[in-house]
Every structure is written in C-alpha cells, then in structure tokens.
C-alpha cells in the first residue's frame, strides 16, 4: 500500500497570515476513505520551512507519492521542492495540485520533476491516481481531471472532472493529521481573533457571480453542505479538539439564506458559546438583517463585506455589479449590532482613473466599516481578468511570486505607479486616522491585549507596502 505525503507549499510574503490547509486535508480524508491509510500532511507555512527543510522531512518519511499544493505566488516553492525531491528521492512520484496547478497545468509540467497535475477539486482524481499507481497502471487517459505525460513525453490534459455535487457525502477534513496547537500561534486569515483555539471551515463551494478578478477554483455552480452536516463537523471540532472559534472561509456563505439561518440556529441551540468570524464570505447587497441578527446570537463578532470599488462604472468593468446603496445600508446595520465589519477594496482595475480610485477611498472613509484593506488588482492566472490582460498585449510578469496579493507592481490602470502607491497610503491614513473610528475599533475588538499591538504593526505594513 502506498505511503502518501501531502505538502502545503509556502512562499514568504508581506502579510503573513494562515489558516488550516483544508485543501490537502480534504484530499487526505478522501484518500483514506478510498483505502489508503498511510497518509501524512506537511504544512510548510505553519512550520516556516524552506524547500530544503521540507525535503529533509520527506526523506525521513519515505513516501511513495508526494502531493504539492500551491497558490500562484507559491509556484516557485513548488518547483524547488519538486526538483529537490528528484535529486534526493529519485523514483518518488510528484503530484501537483491546488489553485495554481489547476489553471497552469502545462506550466507546472514544464518542470520535469513534476509527474502529474491534478486539476480542480482533486479529491476523487487524486484517489483514482493513487489507486492506479498502487496497481501499476501506465495509461492515464481515462482519469478525468488529470494532466500527465505520455510515453513520448507529450503533455496530455484529460477532460475536466465534474466537481463533487453532493458535499454531504464527502468525509470531513482530516483534522487528526494536523497539529492544532501550531495554528494557535500564527496570525490567521482575517487577522483579528477572539480565541486562539480555532478551526477553519468551508460550508459551501463556489460563487455564481462572475467577477473578472476572481478565482475559478470551485467553478460557478454553488454547492452547499446541509446545515446538519456543517453542525456535525462543528460538534466534532468542539468535542474532540477543544475548538472555541470557527472561521468560515466560504466564498459566499449567505447565498442560500435559509440554510445559513439553520446553521446559526443550530449553534444557538447547542449553546457552545463559540466565536464566529467570516473573513471571506458575505455578498453585501443580498445579505438580510434577520441573518445578521441570528449569526450574532450564534457568536459572530466580525465579518467582511467586499466592495472592491464604489464607482458604478468600475463595478460594471469587473462584472461584480454590486448595488452600493444596499451595501451601505447593511454595513450600517451590522455595525449598529455591535459586530465588527471589515471592508475590502481594490485599486487599479483596467481603465480605472485616479478620480475613480478617489471615489472608492472617499466612500470607504465615510462608511461604517470598523476596518478596511485596500488591495492592488492582481490578474491571477485562470481568471477572466488574466485572459483580458494577456490578450491586450500587456507584459505580465513571468515570475509567479510577483502575484503576491499584498505587494505588487502590476499596474493595469491608467494611473502611474507612484500615484497608486500614494493613494494607497492616503487611503489607509484617511480611513484609520479618524478618532471616532479608532474608538469604535477599541470598543469592539476582542482579545485587546494581543490584538492592538499586532494591528498597529499590520496597519504600518499595509500603509507603506507597494
């Protein structure tokens, strides 16, 4: 029986935050369900490992198959680990997967040390691949979702595998394969926290909107876990792992409001007194007040509403088409409930002018958001935005580490780079140097002793990052 090691790769970047590697935890869980009991997880990010140190650990572990998961800006790390494995562990099978290999399979397989790429939601593709390897299979043409090389060395991309439709039938992530305490000591996604003992969760997959800048990792067909299934995993996390806080990472948790309300009511009935935070997943113009109130009763102390731009024209350019007036009303309501609400904004869309950027900054500064982040627009491979920019002849960087979400000099707008740099600094200063807002943050923030010094440092980094 194969020994399998799954690795979350890591490229050091400006704002170090981390959550549990749910992608490879789900891959591990499905592999075990398919009969592969000897599965291990290595998280380079939480361990702060270099590629060389990671391979040291793999040499000790002696796996037959190594799966490497990577975001776009981690592609260089993936290649380094693969090459080092080829040098020190010849014969080990190297499989790449995750967001970047899924959309750049040919680029990833250009590195000869990588044997296979699993594209898309890889639970069943990886399990089928391992089953074939275990049985000595040589022809992979029938394995959907797989990219590989034939006997002549030609790269073959098999048809896509349909994403899992019945999420309740899938196992929970392999929570027993990670060291929970190590995640207590790193800044998590969303940064602010109430309790160090947290777990990360996806209660659904995909978002049906077609924003040009957004990933396509889960497709555009929204699929949900039932409230009962979500609550069963939370029961496990509380009772077996002492979890006190749940970080929901859904792209759009509130797409099916009645399901979301059932989850909230289930937590109220259980009275675990959990803290809940939503650093990703609310679309503001379809969020209703009843859900906000229920989630607060269930333990929600912070959430994020992504606005991106306050310019109606730019909303059309990016195809988000958010109704800004509705967003403003629900943000005001959330703040009035005593819930911290975070705003996400983006500067630098194609054709965006300085005036439109200032329109967004003005709107944010006058809003009820407690906190906000002003990101650069990054055309990640696989997005509609990347294709638009590529076809326009724009000279995109070949170094994938340049696609780091907090620090980039990729400029797609009509505004000079130095002006955008100054505008971002101005945005942070105008937003935060407001006595009323600073007092609201101080009153609302949980865990003040740990949070306030860290947030001060984070503000300084983001205000001055390029």
Looking at the structure of the chain, the number of domains it has is 2
Q: Count Cβ atoms within 10 A of the Cβ of residue 368 and give its class: 0-12 exposed, 13-18 middle, 19 or more buried.
A: middle
Instruction: Based on the fold, state whether residues 451 and 336 are members of the same structural domain.
Output: yes
Task: With CA atoms as reference, report the closest residue to 209 among 15, 445, 384.
Answer: 384
Residue 165 domain-assigned? no
Inside any domain, residue 211: yes
User: Residue 46 sits in a domain of what CATH number?
Assistant: 3.40.50.280
Same domain, 118 and 205: no
Q: Which of 157, 176, 199 is the last residue of a domain?
A: 157
Q: How far apart are CA 252 and CA 270, in angstroms?
A: 24
Structure tokens belonging to residue 278: 């939503």
DSSP string covering 285-299: GG--HHHHHHHHHHT
CA distance 385 to 378: 9
What does the radius of gyration of the chain's CA atoms come to, in whole angstroms?
A: 22
Residue 207 Ramachandran class (φ > 0 left, ψ -120 to 50 alpha, else beta) = beta
Tokens 């945005």 -> residue: 427
* pTM strictly above 0.85: yes
**273 — alpha (psi -120 to 50), left (phi > 0) or beta?**
left
Same domain for 152 and 191, yes or no, is no
Q: To 5 degrees, how large is the angle CA 430–CA 432–CA 436?
A: 105
Based on the domain organization, do 195 and 267 belong to the same domain?
yes
Tell me the DSSP string of 311-376. -HHHHHHTT----HHHHHHHHHHHHHTT-EEEEEEEE--TT--HHHHHHHHHHHHHS--SEEEEEE
In order along its 466 residues, the chain shows pLDDT tens digits of: 899 999 999 987 655 678 899 999 999 999 999 999 999 999 999 999 999 999 999 999 999 999 999 999 899 999 999 999 999 999 999 999 999 999 999 999 999 999 999 999 999 999 999 999 999 998 999 999 999 999 999 999 999 999 999 999 999 999 999 999 999 987 776 678 889 999 999 999 999 999 999 987 788 899 999 999 999 999 999 999 999 999 999 999 999 999 999 999 999 999 999 999 999 879 999 999 999 999 999 999 999 999 999 999 999 999 999 999 999 999 999 999 999 999 999 999 999 999 999 999 999 999 999 999 999 998 988 899 988 888 887 888 888 877 776 667 788 998 999 999 999 999 999 999 999 999 998 888 887 777 777 677 666 666 555 5
Q: Helix, strand or coil for residue 147? A: strand
Instruction: Output the six-digit token pair for 218.
Output: 């889960």
- Asked whether 324 and 343 are in contact (CB, 8 A), the reply is no
Same domain, 286 and 140: no
Q: Are residues 239 and 143 in the same domain?
A: no
pLDDT at 50: 95
| Pairwise CA distance, residues 279 & 190, whole Å | 5
The CATH number of the domain holding residue 418 is 3.80.30.20
Q: Kindly state whether residues 229 and 152 are assigned to the same domain.
A: no
Q: Do 147 and 293 belong to one domain?
A: no
- 109 and 238 in a single domain? The answer is no
Domain for residue 201, yes or no?
yes
* 218/354 same-domain check: yes
Pair (340, 400) in one structural domain: yes
Q: Which of 157, 177, 196 is at the close of a domain?
A: 157
Q: CB neighbours (10 Å) of residue 265?
A: 15
Query: What distance in Å separates the CA atoms of residue 23 and residue 178, rounded to the nearest whole number?
Result: 13
In a domain, 432, yes or no: yes
Q: Domain limits at 87? A: 4-157
Nearest residue to 443 via CA among 355, 370, 354: 370
Which of 363, 31, 54, 26 lies closest to 200 in space, CA to CA?
A: 26
Please tell me whether residues 122 and 212 are part of one structural domain.
no
Joined tokens for residue 199: 């777990």
- Vertex 59 angle, CA 58 and 64, to 5°: 70
List own/partner pairs for 327-332 with CB under 8 A and 24 or more apart. 327/284, 327/285, 328/367, 328/368, 330/284, 330/285, 330/287, 330/289, 330/292, 330/305, 331/284, 331/305, 331/367, 331/368, 331/369, 332/368
DSSP state of 189: T
């Amino acid at each position: 029986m194969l020994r399998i090691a799954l690795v979350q790769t890591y490229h050091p970047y400006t704002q170090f935050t981390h959550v549990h590697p749910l992608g490879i935890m789900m891959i591990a869980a499905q592999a075990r369900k398919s009969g592969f009991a000897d599965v291990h997880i290595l998280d380079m990010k939480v361990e702060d490992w270099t590629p060389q140190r990671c391979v040291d650990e793999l040499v000790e572990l002696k796996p037959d198959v190594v799966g490497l998961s990577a975001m776009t800006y981690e592609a260089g790390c993936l290649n380094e680990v693969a090459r080092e494995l080829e040098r020190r562990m010849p014969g080990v099978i190297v499989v790449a997967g995750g967001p970047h290999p899924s959309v750049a399979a040919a680029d990833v397989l250009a590195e000869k040390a990588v044997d296979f790429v699993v594209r898309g939601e890889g639970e069943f593709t990886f399990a089928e691949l391992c089953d074939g390897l275990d049985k000595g299979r040589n022809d992979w043409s029938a394995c959907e979702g797989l990219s590989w090389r034939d006997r002549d060395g030609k790269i073959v991309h098999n048809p896509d595998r349909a994403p899992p439709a019945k999420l309740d039938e899938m196992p929970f992530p392999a929570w027993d394969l990670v060291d929970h305490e190590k995640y207590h000591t790193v800044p998590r996604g969303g940064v602010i926290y109430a309790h160090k003992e947290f777990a990360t969760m996806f209660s659904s997959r995909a978002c049906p909107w077609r924003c040009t800048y957004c990933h396509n990792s889960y497709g555009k067909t929204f699929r949900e876990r039932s409230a009962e299934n979500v609550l069963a995993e939370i029961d496990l996390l509380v009772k077996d792992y002492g979890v006190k806080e749940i970080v929901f990472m859904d792209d759009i948790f509130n797409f099916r409001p009645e399901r979301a309300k059932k989850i909230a009511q289930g937590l109220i009935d259980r009275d675990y007194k959990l803290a809940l935070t939503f650093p990703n997943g609310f679309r503001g113009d379809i969020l209703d007040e009843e859900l906000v109130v229920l989630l607060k009763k269930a333990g929600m102390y912070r959430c994020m509403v992504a606005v991106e731009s306050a310019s109606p024209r730019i909303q059309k350019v990016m195809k988000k088409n958010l109704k800004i007036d509705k967003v403003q009303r629900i943000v005001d309501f959330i703040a009035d409930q005593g819930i911290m609400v975070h705003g996400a904004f983006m500067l630098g869309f194609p054709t965006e002018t300085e005036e439109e950027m200032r329109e967004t900054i003005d709107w944010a500064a006058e809003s009820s958001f407690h906190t906000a982040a002003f990101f650069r627009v990054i055309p990640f491979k696989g997005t509609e935005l990347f294709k638009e920019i590529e076809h326009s002849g724009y000279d995109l960087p070949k170094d994938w580490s340049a696609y780091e979400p907090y620090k980039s000099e990729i400029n797609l707008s009509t505004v000079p780079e130095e002006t955008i740099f100054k505008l971002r600094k101005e945005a942070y200063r105008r937003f935060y140097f407001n006595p009323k807002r600073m007092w609201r943050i101080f009153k609302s923030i949980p865990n003040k002793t740990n949070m306030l010094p860290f947030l001060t440092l984070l503000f300084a980094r983001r205000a001055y990052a390029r």
